[in-house]
Amino acid sequence: EAGVVQSPRYKIIEKKQPVAFWCNPISGHNTLYWYLQNLGQGPELLIRYENEEAVDDSQLPKDRFSAERLKGVDSTLKIQPAELGDSAVYLCASSSSSYEQYFGPGTRLTVT
Amino acid sequence: AQSVTQPDIHITVSEGASLELRCNYSYGATPYLFWYVQSPGQGLQLLLKYFSGDTLVQGIKGFEAEFKRSQSSFNLRKPSVHWSDAAEYFCAVGAGRDDKIIFGKGTRLHILP
């Protein structure tokens, strides 16, 4: 069974540019999470989807971040415009049951 | 609100030695507790979890953890570490009906040959 797939793995952009990350969860997993992981820190939840509905986006900075999961399968996280402080690893996870989250390898974003 | 503390940022042990990584949590009721491992450039992999029942939990890769309610702790142990165990280890607590998991800041494990 394939795991959670994320792309790209690495992205370098200049500040004020837009960037998008893609996540394809494990087949059959209805719940999808996007996490932000700063250097030396644990992951912090940005947004959680149940199928196509965002059920927890309280930690998503909505002035510059947006996410979508239109068909309840894969998801895209966007930042526009990016700031220097957005440099971090963006992790996607999926689950089919409570608390059993499976993580992708992450996208490492560097904003210059 | 729940929180997790991992008091050790770095731990260094010799290969073949025993390991214990500390984790303390804060939550009013019985929490769900997890240990994840993250190798460089990789996502997080679940090592083990505690939901209820036996307070000594066995996980993958020879790891175990013990839930101690009186100490609000969930320490991770391994009797003999291998060089491949060098990684970042995260303790996490889940609580409530929203399946939200709160992660600690992690402990980086270094292995001496």
Q: What is the 3-state secondary structure (H, E, C) of A10-31?
A: EEEECCCCCEEEEEECCCCCCE
**Considering only CB atoms, which chain B residues are within 8 Å of A106?**
42-43
CA distance B43 to B93: 18
pLDDT of residue A100: 81
Contact state of B43 with A56 under an 8 Å Cβ cutoff? no
Per-10-residue mean pLDDT for chain A, 112 residues long?
Answer: 91 97 95 94 94 92 94 94 96 86 94 97
| Range of lowest pLDDT (A77-81, B64-68, B93-97) | B93-97
* pLDDT tens digits along B50-63: 988 899 999 999 99
Q: Chain-centre distance of CA A29, in angstroms? A: 15
Whether B89 contacts chain A with CB within 8 A: no
Residue whose entry in the numeric block shows the structure tokens 């690893």: A89
At A98 the pLDDT is 66
The residue to which tokens 């292995």 are assigned: B111
Assess contact for A34 and A22: CB atoms under 8 A.
Answer: no
pLDDT confidence of residue B98: 64
Q: Which sign, positive or negative, has the C-alpha torsion A52, A58, A64, A65?
A: negative
What is the CB neighbour count within 10 angstroms for residue B89? 24
Separation between Cα atoms, residue A64 and residue B17, nearest integer Å? 48
**What band does B96 get if pLDDT is binned at 50, 70 and 90?**
low
Residue B64 has pLDDT above 70, yes or no: yes
What is the Cα–Cα distance from B51 to B94, expressed in whole angstroms?
Answer: 9
For the segment B2-26, the average pLDDT, to the nearest whole number, is 95
Q: Which residue of A has its CA nearest to B90?
A: A42
Is there a contact between A103 and B43 if contact means CB atoms under 8 Å apart?
Answer: yes
- pLDDT for res B8: 96
Residues of A with CB under 8 A from a CB of B: 4, 31, 40-45, 48, 55-56, 91, 93, 95, 98-106, 108
Residue B87: the pLDDT is 97
Instruction: Find the angle CA(A64)-CA(A70)-CA(A72) to the nearest 5 degrees.
Output: 120
Nearest to A42 among B42, B94, B104 (CB): B104
pLDDT computed for residue B58 by the predictor: 97
Q: Tell me, what DSSP letter sits at residue A59?
A: T
